[in-house]
A and B are shown apart, each in its own frame.
Chain A
Amino acid sequence: MRIHQYEKLWIVGAMILIVGFIVTITYGSVGLGITMIGDEEETIAPDELNDDEQFGEPRVEQVGENEYAAYVVAQTFIFQPDPIEIPANNEITFHVTSRDVIHGFYVPGTNINAMAIPGQVAELTVEFDEPGEHGLICHEYCGSGHHTMEGLIVVQPEDEFDLTELSAETPDTVTSGEQVQLNATVENGQLEPLETTVDAEIGDQTFQQNITVDGNSTQDVTFTAESTQLGVGEHDWTVTVDDYEETGSVEVVSNETAAAEGGEES
């Protein structure tokens, strides 16, 4: 073949460019540690998501020291959970699947970018250095409401982040003379034990108890007030643990009323 000398020169130049691009990308993978979404995750049928241990309740959970997993379900036209709350300076592994059609999982302004394909689970690990809020959008056309499909990722300062959940309850009514029991449950989703204080108020009575909730477990606390001291009537109660607060009310009824009601019923 007769090839002009300049053209031979350019073929060499073109090969240098091509190899240079490949080398840069390989450096990105090996040197900078940027990985591609792969096929490591098990597949999951969309109609079995509700029964799935992880996607049945889309959530964030701690899986190791400074490591969290976020199970995210994309579906027309929402993301679950929403918002997704995660700590800064920790490794977050998103596991993303779709319940129906192909969706996108994209955080504009970052390199967080994945497809959510029904049947498949995309796995991607990232770490946010700064607290802040980021939009999460679907960037693959998924139907008529596609442009409304957005969620929120809230990155909290590491020391303010927890996976604590508080629930509390009392009976609706208590007969005067009996005890008013306020049952609070503190759940610690993190791996480290949670040492904290539970504060409670029932009417004008206050309670306080220090507790230690082990990692990934729950602890029940019960506060007891004497209904006679509270008096007949409606009483508000509040339970607080760290920044969490539950409120409700309990009604103390007099013996006569209780008896009358009991009488009516029988």
Chain B
Amino acid sequence: MTALFVDEYPAEARLVKAAFLSSFIAFGIGALFGIIQALHRTDIFRFIDSIKYYTVLTGHGVFLVIAFTIFFLVGLYQWAVTDSLERGSVDIRFTWLWYGLMAIGSLLAGISILAGFLDQPPMVLGSELRANVLFTFYAPLEANPLYYIGLALFLVGTWLAGIDWFRTWWAWRDENPGKRIPLRTFMVLTTMIMFFLGSIGVIVSILVFILPWSLEITESLNPLLTRTLFWFFGHMIVYFWLLPAYLLWYSVLPKLSGGRLFSDPLARVVFILFVLLSTPVGIHHQYMDPGIAEGFKFIAMTNTMFLLLPSFLTAFTVVASMEHGARQRGGEGRFNWLRALPWRNPAFTGMALAGLIFAFGGFTGIVNAGMNINYLVHNALWIPGHIHAQVGTATALTLMAGSYWLVPQLTGNRLVGRQVALFQVVLWFVGIVFMTNSMFRAGLVGVPRRTAEPQYQGFDYDVGVGSMGELNAQLALGGTLLFISAMLFLVLMLLTVFNNDSEPIVDGTLPPALSGPEDSPQVLDNLRLWFGIAFALVVLAYALPLAGIAAQSGLFGQDIQPFPVSSEAVIYFQFGLEYVGAFVT
């Protein structure tokens, strides 16, 4: 057994722990908001105003898919780079700088969201402090400028993190001329290239259009343009959530299974495909949008379908790596080897169940990506079903399972409650099956997403099999199980952190792949080349649609007024009455 990560790289371990701490705090708040929604929208238990539901919903989105996932990512990636290059950061102060920016950014955004619970929010930067705009912040809904500033700082911090890892790699390359990039570092670097490229959209959207407009520096904006720039970023970001899980599946899961990664070259190919294809597909979130020609939608659809390829390849490589472990552990037969896997290990079981959900969730993603079939599911409850299967389980459950393996190495403490941990990951699996089953089916009968009260006056949903009551019960039950599971995880993490005077029983070494990097051509490591091709693909996919949108109604739109989402509904009715008045006269 080699030395623990915390003993070898104490400075980096501190940063990883700080990042995980931020991630887990966000996870706790996000999970709490999740159960509030599950009970509220099904009308099983409502203790907040439906207006405040949207504050909860904004918090649920931002705390979970921005803070929880990305803080975990930067911690995990810091570990991956340090451990696989066997060297620390070039300058640890720079490392803390990006973490600090991310922390401040998420605090600002978080505070502006939580202020939405106040009946009389304070005035900040010339407007009420609130941000009931959800994590997609579609203009002309308007949040306090502080929310956008927070998001921008968070993004800048994430950029600097990427630059930091590149610096570490450059330093390593000078020390190790001619060596192949270690696989985990390769994954980190390609993920960050993808992020640099894809986040340009949202950075332009915030810094050029939305922030100046919310500060009343510019008077108008083009809502379709800011929306398109968001989705330029918005599909890349889902892979940014997912790739940390991929990194764990490729590097840690084979080892947990008792085997070795099946193919290092294919793992590299997979990450390169994500660099190339994860951005020029964003328009598939806008199939139902006017102002974008059908041809561009078709191109986005075909790109998205080819983006299935890296995930399909992953399915084979990762399952084959698990099977390798099972066979080495004595597994036999066509399917019987599955029984030889270490199902009592929570880290293994969590990741394996996450992968299983991902395989089905992937199918729902194909439906979302399927252009005309998107009419069936767009903005229906099916979509959050898909999100909760993918980021809410494939990613989140893998990260939790990975924590059971990694946190003891970061703290030097033994994991507390291994049996409970096993129960926790299985509970998450059961919870997500109930909840997403309800969401998929309810979505197919037309129940919309993103609403406090999907119960309407004028019509009833036509539920073919089962009933609305049964669907609601499943959703609430699933949500409750997930919440309990999340709390169990956090308690176990907390106890582990304070479990001093213990020796972790974990082996941090990762075995080499069965087919190593020497089996792949050197060109796979030519990151400049892949960046160049990816950039060209993005230009091809986005130049014309963006130019078209700007040409139709201008870069800054046609006098689009901001709509601050207040906790008071009154101003809306005033707007409404004004317009209705204009009709009558």
Contacts and interface: CB of A to CB of B under 8 A. Distances in A.
Given A108-B445, A111-B375, A141-B451, A41 B457 contact: no
Nearest to B455: A147
Contacts of A48: 558
Q: Which interface class (under 10, 10 to 19, 20 to 34, 35 or more) fits B?
A: 35 or more
A141 B294 CA distance: 25
Given A104-B379, A141-B134, A144-B569, A4 B140 contact: no
Contacts of A11: 309, 312-313
Interface stretch (A21-29, A159-167, A258-266): A21-29
A145 B50 CA distance: 8
Interface string B542-575: 0000001000110001111101011111001101
B552 A39 contact: yes
Contact of B266 (A3, A28, A37): A3
Given A1-B265, A1-B519, A120-B290, A46 B458 contact: no
Given A2-B515, A38-B293, A118-B560, A22 B227 contact: no
B317 A7 contact: yes
Contact of A75 (B294, B370, B456, B579): B579
Nearest to B518: A2
A119 B461 contact: no
A3 B223 contact: no
Interface in B356-371: 366, 370-371
A210 interface: no
A115 B448 CA distance: 13
Interface string B273-298: 00000000000001111111110011
Interface of A: 1-4, 6-7, 10-11, 14-15, 17-18, 21-22, 24-25, 28-29, 34-39, 41, 43, 45-48, 50, 57, 75-78, 80, 96, 99-102, 104, 106-115, 117-123, 133-135, 137, 139-148, 150-152
22 contacts: A2-B265, A4-B263, A4-B320, A4-B515, A15-B309, A18-B309, A21-B370, A22-B302, A36-B287, A39-B290, A39-B293, A43-B553, A45-B559, A47-B559, A47-B561, A117-B224, A117-B290, A119-B557, A120-B290, A120-B291, A143-B141, A143-B563
A140 to B, nearest CB: 6
Interface string B366-398: 100011111110111000000000000000000
B448 A139 contact: yes
B222 interface: yes
Interface string B128-168: 00001010001011000000000000000000000000000
Given A22-B302, A22-B305, A150-B457, 20 more contacts: A1-B520, A4-B262, A14-B309, A43-B291, A75-B575, A76-B563, A78-B576, A101-B138, A101-B223, A101-B563, A111-B375, A113-B379, A118-B140, A118-B560, A119-B557, A120-B291, A135-B458, A139-B450, A147-B50, A152-B458
Nearest to B374: A113
Interface of B: 50-51, 54, 57, 132, 134, 138, 140-141, 222-224, 227, 262-263, 265-266, 286-294, 297-298, 301-302, 305-306, 308-309, 312-313, 316-317, 320, 366, 370-376, 378-380, 445-454, 456-459, 461-462, 515, 519-521, 548, 552-553, 557-561, 563, 565-569, 572-573, 575-576, 579, 582-583
Contacts of A96: 290
Given A109-B461, A120-B224, A36 B294 contact: yes
What 5 pairs across the A-B complex have the smallest Cβ distances? A108-B446, A135-B459, A45-B558, A122-B290, A14-B312
Given A3-B266, A14-B309, A143 B370 contact: no
Contacts, number: 254
Contact of B448 (A28, A106, A110, A111): A106
Contacts of B290: 37-39, 41, 96, 114-115, 117, 120-123
B370 A25 contact: yes
Nearest to A96: B290
A48 B560 CA distance: 11
A38 B288 CA distance: 9
B169 to A, nearest CB: 23
Contacts of B312: 10-11, 14, 17
A109 to B, nearest CB: 5
Contacts of A36: 287, 294, 297-298, 371-372
Contacts of A41: 290
Nearest to B41: A147
A34 B576 CA distance: 35
Report which residue of A1, A7, A39, A107 has the largest number of chain B beta carbons within 10 angstroms of its beta carbon: A39
Contacts of B452: 146-147
A25 B373 contact: yes
Nearest to B293: A39
Contacts of A104: 379, 448
A14 B291 CA distance: 33
B84 to A, nearest CB: 21
A133 B458 contact: yes
Given A50-B582, A117-B224, A10 B373 contact: no
B209 to A, nearest CB: 14
A34 B374 CA distance: 11
Contacts of A10: 312-313, 316
A76 B446 contact: no
A71 to B, nearest CB: 13
A139 B262 contact: no
Contacts of A110: 446
A150 B448 contact: no
Contacts of B265: 1-3
Nearest to B317: A7
A147 B379 contact: no
A96 B289 CA distance: 11
B336 to A, nearest CB: 18
B323 to A, nearest CB: 11
B140 to A, nearest CB: 5
A53 to B, nearest CB: 14
A133 B459 contact: yes
Contacts of B560: 46, 118-119
A113 B456 contact: no
A96 to B, nearest CB: 8
A192 B291 CA distance: 34
Report which residue of B313, B376, B458 has the largest number of chain A beta carbons within 10 angstroms of its beta carbon: B458
A139 B51 contact: no
B275 to A, nearest CB: 18
A80 B584 CA distance: 13
A7 B459 contact: no
A7 B316 CA distance: 7
Contacts of B575: 75-76, 100
A133 B462 CA distance: 13
A133 B457 CA distance: 12
Contact of B553 (A114, A119, A122): A119
A149 to B, nearest CB: 9
Nearest to A56: B583
Nearest to B572: A76
Given A109-B445, A109-B446, A111-B376, A77 B576 contact: yes
A104 to B, nearest CB: 6
